[in-house]
Amino acid sequence: MTIAVLGATGMVGSRVIAESVARGHRVLALSRKPGDGDPNVTPVAVDVGDPEAVREALAGAAATGATATRATATGTAATGAAAVGAPAAGATPPRPADAVILSVRTFPADREFLVGATRTVLDAAARLGMRVLVVGGAGALRSPGDPDLLVADNRAYVPDEYRAVALAGTAQLRTCEAHADADWVYLSPPAELEPGERTGRYRRGTDTLLTASDDGRSWISAEDLAVAVVDEVENPGTERHITVVHRPST
């Protein structure tokens, strides 16, 4: 498959790229300042605030090694391998990605940015007939044992200083739900998500926060979250809101 990852340089996006490449997929690595290196990864400099650039990137216009340049929304110009532009003469015709992973965020959390980015990607993907996997937030999940209480409103999981982030993630899910024409799935990580070990194991649920069976914590490593992301892209499930949690070995 060809998998586009928007948020390529992030904690989650970089691990999704590593997992995708390890499984033999081609990757379009999208962010404002994507790196380069792996021949199976095509870096594409794109600002998600520029809907036309996002659409072009997802359509595969940049996957041809074109050297044309296109100004990004931040005013910088993308060049060389990290360019969005017309295909070079004799180049392979552009091909849309098969799926796009949206995994962006800002510091501090910016609800309008996140909603706008999500809308942009859903619109572009719907036009291109492409599936979208949104790596969102735990705040959009229901609380265990209290389905009417969103995690974003539950101080046991979300202290006051993280409430804005959690509410931004909830707004992002509502944006997806408003896009009936797009093919999307929203993956809520558990409460804690940090770099760690790739075990290849996880437990999957739908719209309620999960806790690990050994220590009761709601957590997963970013590496195992990436495993779950690529599993879902390769074998799409039927639920639109899913979550995962660490699964111990015994």
β-strand pairing of 41-45 with 70-71: unpaired
Our finding on whether 43 is near ligand NAP (CB under 6 A) is no
- The nearest distance, CB 89 to ligand NAP, in angstroms, is 29
Structure tokens of 180?
């009936």
Our finding on whether 243 is near ligand NAP (CB under 6 A) is no
Q: Which stretch binds ligand NAP (CB under 6 A): 3-11, 55-63, 195-203, 209-217?
A: 3-11
Q: Which stretch binds ligand NAP (CB under 6 A): 28-36, 56-64, 209-217, 241-249?
A: 28-36
Cβ–Cβ under 8 Å, residues 185 and 133: yes
**Rounded Cα–Cα distance for residues 184 and 118 (Å):** 10
Q: Which stretch binds ligand NAP (CB under 6 A): 75-83, 135-143, 202-210, 232-240?
A: 135-143
Our finding on whether 189 is near ligand NAP (CB under 6 A) is yes
Total residues at the site for ligand NAP (CB under 6 A)?
Answer: 25
| Residue with smallest beta-carbon separation from ligand NAP | 10
Q: Which residues contact 171 (CB under 8 A, 6 or more apart)?
A: 111, 114, 115
DSSP 191-213: SEEES----S-EEEESSB----T
**Rounded Cα–Cα distance for residues 97 and 63 (Å):** 9
Question: Residues interacting with ligand NAP, by CB under 6 A?
Answer: 7-13, 31-33, 47-49, 103-106, 135-138, 169, 189, 191, 193
